[in-house]
Amino acid sequence: MNISKISPLHKDATSEVLVDYSVHDGGEIPDDFNADEKNQSLRTLGTWTGVFRPTILTIFGVMMYIRMGWIVGHAGLIGALLILGMTFFITGSTALSFSSISTNMRLKAGGIFAMVSQSLGLEAGGAIGLPLYLAQCLGAAMYIYGFAEGWVWFFPEHNPSYVIVVLYLVGATFSLISERMVLKMQGFVAVGVVVALISMVCGFATVEVMHEPVLWGDFEGGSIWFLFAVFFPAGTGIKVGASLSGKLKDPRKSIPIGVLAAWGVALVMYAILMVWYSMVATPAELQGNYLIAMDRAWWGKAVLIGLLSSCFSAMLSSMIAAPNVLAALGEYRVIPKGDFLSKQSAGGTPRQAVLVNSVIVGLALTLGDLNTVAQVVTMFFLITYATINLVVMIEQSLGLLSFRPTFKVSKWVPRLGFLASIGGIMITNPWLGLGSVAMVIALYAYLESRKLDTPWDTVRSGLFFAMASWAARRTMSNTGANERGWKPDLIVPIDNLVVLEGYYRFLVSMLQPNGSLQLLYWQSKKDENNELLLQMVDDYNKEGIISTHTIISSDSLVAMTRMGVSVLRNQVFHPNILFIDGNNRSEEEVNQMIQIAKNSRLGAILCIFNEEKKLGREKEINIWIRDQSPDWSLGLRLANLDLTLLLSYQVRKSWGGRISLLSVIREPEQLDRGREYLNELFRDARIPGNSHIWVDHGDFHDVLTKAPRADLNIFGLSEKVDLAQLKKLTVTTRSSCIFVMDSGDESALA
């Protein structure tokens, strides 16, 4: 028999693995994931092509060549470095924030619009997505202006208006033909940019006169805040790669690596070039000649090539990124004519959105010169960045189990990024900033009035549930759950308080820190002393678990359970899991309770402790996933697996242990597909990286004895069980076992 031994995983996000086995028929996986995930053939871009290259080429754009020297000339070296620091502090904190949140979701098309929408709903996403889209259109116009300035410097006899029109038409045509062609062209552009940078740095050695840097300038061109507003678009290229999220093979991996790498490289190069500008020319020369770099570089024409190629590339990047945002806005009916705008060609290009976008970019070209456009772009991006940081602040503050980014950042990163973005808006141009904020608020109010149907759960629901939990901890009420705000809320029917004491530590490990417990106690005698029950409820509350109890007199424990569940399900905040003691109940009672859970849309946990081992060292957890051959497809909801994964993660957090994921596949030819499925499932469910997988083929019961030992084994639970057979599993596995059935309302991938 061929067997795959336990082996530690590689320490990267793609190799964190997940597995589970069900001793039952779990049902079909509902195909309710959105249309963005149905066209996997369109997801072909990697980290280099889809994120790093377009991002770095957009950052290395017009500002570096024809405004950076002007900034240094007016602000001095220290002033320019201060402007650089402010710019890259805001964009860097935002890059960290959306890199983190991108690893906590299956990111859809639309980049930052998708991030905000999936967290705060389509109303907030649309209110931010529309200004973001307009900023990208204005960015394209800004790069066209920059190209025209460089072109006219080299060809002074050419009319700049004609250059702008020709370049605009070329960009619109290329973006309409094919996004992939544009991205391939960036490879040639990158060569030109590298040559230009080398030529500028080599200017240190070839310039005839080296000047002592002026540390603080005269600011005759405007205040430091005006210069900041002009320069800020230099760092906003960080959003370009994220805007292509719908075309990335693995956005969860590519966005953090690509964006942060581009940000770091750009920061270092910008700092070097500011020093270069301050040493190769006087402040007067820098102020009076936008294109001084061409005169002071080792090879001036290389700088011109870099300017024209990078402006051209950045313009194309904006003109392919913006239509993707526009198409995403249309897909979710945020804007009118959504069906028209969201249509894509066979190659994945949203051509109708490209046409509309080209018209808007053309209108943006009528606003004026580069400096004017740059200030408006700055406002829109500062608002967008403030919102991204706000989203991460909310997610971090709520402490929901669904917020498990594989790339984590300190809580101070989004807070400082949010404050810096808001401060930048207010200080740079208060009136323009207030107008921009008012526009976002008006858009949100309008979209809220339209009552958009957000096709996924958002953190807003988690926020309300967290508020309800806060109130419940003070009023001892019970709480509910949803996909994003899910937490374990148990209802435990019991008729023996000594047995309940035996489950104490296990229940605490499942419920800390945010769970709740509702004890249903079947009192067989009216004069029975309930002091122990009250003491146990108090002990759970001291553990930070919302715990309440109800004493019910009834004909049987099953009748009491049916009555209690019926009453509690009608409460605003109700339990979501029925806990069943498998050691002391008969098979008939267990099956009746499982049916109660199913009829009440509750999850169910059947717990059978190993009489000798109990929970052992409380370290190792085995999850068994059933053979899903031949359909190894992964959707937002899994076949009776979501509750298992969530509970295992919860217990593992309390134990500080390790999850091992196991599966037995009947046919050996399905092993590779099974392992691939488990790797994908592990990555999407964000299971801790020290987990293992173990896969074998053959008959489940024959292979079971070869499985790695654990303190707790978790299996799926069918609607009708053979209790004797399940108890045998505690002997075979030499461990305690729980058997879990989903309610249908939880999702491990949310």
Q: What are phi and psi of 606, to 5 degrees?
A: -100, 115
Domain assignment of residue 47, given as a range: 36-371
CA angle (514, 515, 516) in 5-degree steps: 130
DSSP letters, 544-593, are T-EEEEEEE--SSHHHHHHHHHHHHTTSSS---EEEEESSSS-HHHHHHH
Provide mean pLDDT across the span 345-362.
79
Asked if residue 468 has pLDDT above 80, the reply is: no
Residue 358 lies in a domain: yes
Instruction: Assess whether 19 and 134 both reside in one domain.
Output: no
For residue 604, what pLDDT is reported?
93
Q: Are 731 and 609 in contact (CB under 8 A)?
A: no
Residue 677 lies in a domain: yes
How far lies 325's CA from each of 15, 132, 350, in Å? 31, 8, 10
For the CA atoms of the chain, what is the radius of gyration? 30
H helices of 476-556, where? 497-502, 504-511, 531-542
Q: Are 490 and 646 in contact (CB under 8 A)?
A: no
CA 204 to chain CA centroid, Å, is 43
Q: Decide: residue 626, CB within 10 A, 0-12 exposed, 13-18 middle, 19+ buried.
A: buried
Q: Are 497 and 533 in contact (CB under 8 A)?
A: yes
CATH number, domain at 324? 1.20.1740.10
Provide mean pLDDT across the span 483-494.
85
Least reliable range by pLDDT among 31-35, 161-165, 717-721: 31-35
Q: Are 603 and 746 in contact (CB under 8 A)?
A: yes
For residue 607, what pLDDT is reported?
94
Provide the 3-class DSSP secondary structure of residue 735: coil
Provide mean pLDDT across the span 711-731.
91
Q: Decide: residue 40, CB within 10 A, 0-12 exposed, 13-18 middle, 19+ buried.
A: exposed
* Contacting residues for 102 by C-beta, under 8 A, at least 6 apart: 115, 242, 245, 251, 252, 255, 256, 407
Distance separating alpha carbons of residues 158 and 49, to the nearest angstrom: 34
For residue 461, what pLDDT is reported?
57
Name residue, tokens 């309770």.
593
Distance separating alpha carbons of residues 430 and 375, to the nearest angstrom: 12
Distance separating alpha carbons of residues 387 and 184, to the nearest angstrom: 32
Distance separating alpha carbons of residues 57 and 312, to the nearest angstrom: 10
Residue 18 lies in a domain: yes
What percentage of the chain exceeds 70 in pLDDT?
83
Instruction: Assess whether 115 and 180 both reside in one domain.
Output: yes
Give the mean pLDDT of the chain. Answer: 79
Asked if residue 6 has pLDDT above 70, the reply is: no
What percentage of the chain exceeds 90 in pLDDT?
15
Residue 166 lies in a domain: yes
Instruction: Assess whether 158 and 269 both reside in one domain.
Output: yes
Instruction: Assess whether 359 and 481 both reside in one domain.
Output: no
For residue 18, what pLDDT is reported?
33
Provide mean pLDDT across the span 533-543.
88
Q: Are 88 and 225 in contact (CB under 8 A)?
A: no
- Cα torsion 284, 285, 286, 287: sign: positive
Instruction: Assess whether 506 and 649 both reside in one domain.
Output: yes
Q: Are 573 and 472 in contact (CB under 8 A)?
A: yes
Distance separating alpha carbons of residues 16 and 25, to the nearest angstrom: 26
State the DSSP H helix or E strand holding residue 316, giving kind and residue range, or none if neither: helix 300-331
Distance separating alpha carbons of residues 614 and 612, to the nearest angstrom: 6
Long-range contacts, 719-727 (Cβ 8 Å, 24+): 719/24, 719/594, 719/595, 719/598, 720/591, 720/594, 721/587, 721/590, 721/591, 721/594, 721/606, 722/587, 723/582, 723/585, 723/586, 723/587, 723/590, 724/587, 726/23, 726/582, 726/606, 726/608, 727/582, 727/608
Provide mean pLDDT across the span 649-660.
87
Per-residue buried b or exposed e for 435-459, using 16+ beta carbons within 10 Å of the residue's own CB = ebbebbeebbeebeeeebebebbbb
For residue 458, what pLDDT is reported?
57
Higher pLDDT, 416 or 625: 416
- Which of 320, 338, 371 is at the close of a domain? 371
- Which of 371, 397, 428 is at the close of a domain? 371
H helices of 333-406, where? 338-342, 351-364, 370-398
Residue 440 lies in a domain: no
The token pair at 540 is 């759970």
Asked if residue 528 has pLDDT above 70, the reply is: no
Confidence of residue 507 (pLDDT cuts 50, 70, 90): very high
Distance separating alpha carbons of residues 167 and 313, to the nearest angstrom: 11
203-218 pLDDT tens trace: 777 777 778 889 998 8
For residue 29, what pLDDT is reported?
33
DSSP letters, 30-68, are P--S-GGGT-GGG--B-HIIIIIHHHHHHHSSHHHHHTH
CATH number, domain at 548? 3.40.50.12370
Q: Please state the domain count of the chain.
A: 2
220-233 pLDDT tens trace: 878 888 898 888 87
Q: Are 36 and 109 in contact (CB under 8 A)?
A: yes
Name residue, tokens 């871009």.
45
For residue 15, what pLDDT is reported?
32
Instruction: Assess whether 101 and 202 both reside in one domain.
Output: yes
Per-residue buried b or exposed e for 332-343, using 16+ beta carbons within 10 Å of the residue's own CB = bbbbeebeebbe
Provide mean pLDDT across the span 562-573.
78
600-626 pLDDT tens trace: 889 999 999 998 888 989 899 998 888
Instruction: Assess whether 25 and 40 both reside in one domain.
Output: no
Residue 247 lies in a domain: yes
Confidence of residue 690 (pLDDT cuts 50, 70, 90): confident
Asked if residue 390 has pLDDT above 80, the reply is: yes
Q: Establish whether the linkage from the previous residue to 575 is cis, with ω within 30° of 0.
A: no
Asked if residue 536 has pLDDT above 80, the reply is: yes
Residue 412 lies in a domain: no
Asked if residue 31 has pLDDT above 60, the reply is: no
For residue 82, what pLDDT is reported?
95
Asked if residue 112 has pLDDT above 90, the reply is: no
The token pair at 303 is 């700088």
Distance separating alpha carbons of residues 134 and 364, to the nearest angstrom: 9
Instruction: Assess whether 217 and 302 both reside in one domain.
Output: yes
Nearest alpha-carbon partner for 330 in 347, 314, 352: 352
Instruction: Assess whether 552 and 657 both reside in one domain.
Output: yes
Q: Are 192 and 306 in contact (CB under 8 A)?
A: yes
Asked if residue 371 has pLDDT above 60, the reply is: yes
- Which of 371, 391, 406 is at the close of a domain? 371
The per-type count for the chain, helices as H runs and strands as E runs, is 29, 11
Distance separating alpha carbons of residues 606 and 296, to the nearest angstrom: 77
For residue 21, what pLDDT is reported?
33
Instruction: Assess whether 133 and 17 both reside in one domain.
Output: no
Instruction: Assess whether 17 and 62 both reside in one domain.
Output: no
Q: What are phi and psi of 530, to 5 degrees?
A: -110, 15
Distance separating alpha carbons of residues 68 and 234, to the nearest angstrom: 9
Instruction: Assess whether 177 and 320 both reside in one domain.
Output: yes
Residue 405 lies in a domain: no
